Every structure is written in structure tokens, then in C-alpha cells.
Amino acid sequence: MITSKLSSVGCDQDHKQGAAISLIRPEGLYTDEVVYRLFTNGLNARPWKVSELLSSPETEDPRTEVAWKFASRGYYAEQAGLVTAAALAAETDDLAYRFDMATAASDEARHADAFLRFAQHLGGDAEECFEMLEPLDEALTSLPYPGKVLAHTVLEGFAADEFHLFTEYFKGHPAARIYEHVRHDENRHVAMGVSHLARACRDPEFSAALREHGDAWLERIREHADVTALSAMFSELTGKDPADFERWFTARHRQRMASARVVIEGR
């Protein structure tokens, strides 16, 4: 597709997505300066430490229970992101994207650990929500490569938007600092996904697959990228009009897809 490949087994064997991890020749790695800079930005970013962010509210704060609940769920959601990023790094034949996803997987491990430790710090134990998040991991794992790229980018985009709103909602609460750090990483992951989609969509086969199957692929993760449900949740937390949140989420999602040059029939 985008770069030449060298099979880890032999140069004359056909490459099969997901069957084995193949090595990729370096041609094209530095062609797009923006893409390569995304990798180096992640590589050189100062690794923040959750131990430096853990603290308790100075007074009894009703938002603490909300923070505990969503930190617990964030632990599993970030694990799903980690597994998907690692799979994308293994399956792609775009070297820059492989490097990008490797740094993303490392970030997601830090996020999962941060959310778990914060949930335990607040509540003594994390909420038991494995069964709530397991379908997300299963849905992402089952997708073919183009669908996985699309779904991962879409979910990272909504997560970044969600964490922005949580940063505002938790202002003055210890949770705000954690969400701010995690959101910074997620924004970089979104840029990685958008840049890869924009390059990959130059391939007629990849573009046709998204156009024909993208709607069905996104339907598998609909529950975890439901703008109406997200908007209702933040409306309940803040007392603001859910329609305002829905317009904001939708506009930002469409802007990302337009930047990625993604065209999906039915959307």
C-alpha cells in the first residue's frame, strides 16, 4: 500500500495482515515532516507520573464519586485503546504510523495505570465494570485493518473531547489534572490517526473499503461513540442543554473526518 515490506520470514513470501508481524523498509519514513514529527513529539514528551498527581479533595466534594466512577471505567477503556494501538502497529505497512502507534500504546498503558490508581485512591477499589467495557475491546479486535484505523481514530477523538469537558467539569478537583495530562496525549493520538487516514485514503482500495463498509464498522462501536448519549451525560452533570453538547461533539467529529478525507456512505 504505502511502503514496501520485508517479511520477517522471507522476502519472497506474501504478506498477510495479522498473520505475522512483518518488517518494513525505511523508504518514506521522513517524507512527510508533520507525520514524523508526531512520532518524535510522542517519543520526546516528558512522561508525567500519576504519583505526582494523586491528591484528595480538600473538602467533601460531590464530584468525587463521579471521578471515581469514570476513572474506573477509564482503566478498561484505555486498555482497549492499548490493545488496538498495539495491533495497528503490528498490522500496518506504514512505518511512520507503526512508530506512532507504538508510542500511543505506551501512552495508553500509562493512562490505564493512572485511572486505576486514581480510582483506588478515591474509593479504595475500582468500580466493577469489566462487563460494561469488554464489548468495546471485542468489537475493536474483530475489525479488519481499515475499520480498526477508522474506529480507533474516531474513539480517540471523542475521548479527547470528553476529557476536555471533564477537565472543565472537575476544575478545582484533583481529577482535572489527570484528565488534562491524558487529554494532551489523546489529542496527539487523534492527529496520528487523522494523518494516517488522509494518506491511506489515497489508496483506492482503502478508500473504497471505508466508503462501503465504514458505516457498518462504526456501528460495532456505536455504544461507545454515541453523541446523543455523551451529550445527555454531560447535560446531567452540568445542567446545560444537551443539544449544545451534541452540536459541539458532532461538529468536531465531522471536522476530524473531513481532515482525514474520509467519505462513508450513509454518513
pLDDT at 3 over 60: no
Cβ-Cβ contacts under 8 Å for 151 (sequence gap 6 or more): 84, 139, 140, 143, 217, 218, 220, 221
Question: Is residue 199 a contact partner of residue 32, using CB atoms and an 8 Å limit?
Answer: yes
Given pLDDT bands bounded at 50, 70 and 90, which one contains residue 82?
very high
Cβ-Cβ contacts under 8 Å for 69 (sequence gap 6 or more): 127
pLDDT of residue 129: 84
Place of cell 492499548: 82
pLDDT at 45 over 90: no
The pTM is what?
Answer: 0.83
Question: Is residue 63 a contact partner of residue 44, using CB atoms and an 8 Å limit?
Answer: no
135-161: average pLDDT: 94
Tens-digit pLDDT profile for residues 233-251: 999 999 999 999 999 999 9
Q: Taking the C-alpha atoms of 189, 267, 258 and 262 in order, what is their torsion angle to the nearest 10 degrees?
A: 70
Cα 95 from Cα 93, distance rounded (Å): 6
pLDDT of residue 267: 59
Sign of the torsion formed by the C-alpha atoms of 131, 156, 197 and 248: positive
Tens-digit pLDDT profile for residues 48-67: 777 777 776 666 889 999 99
**Please, what is the average pLDDT of the chain?**
85
255, three cell numbers: 471536522
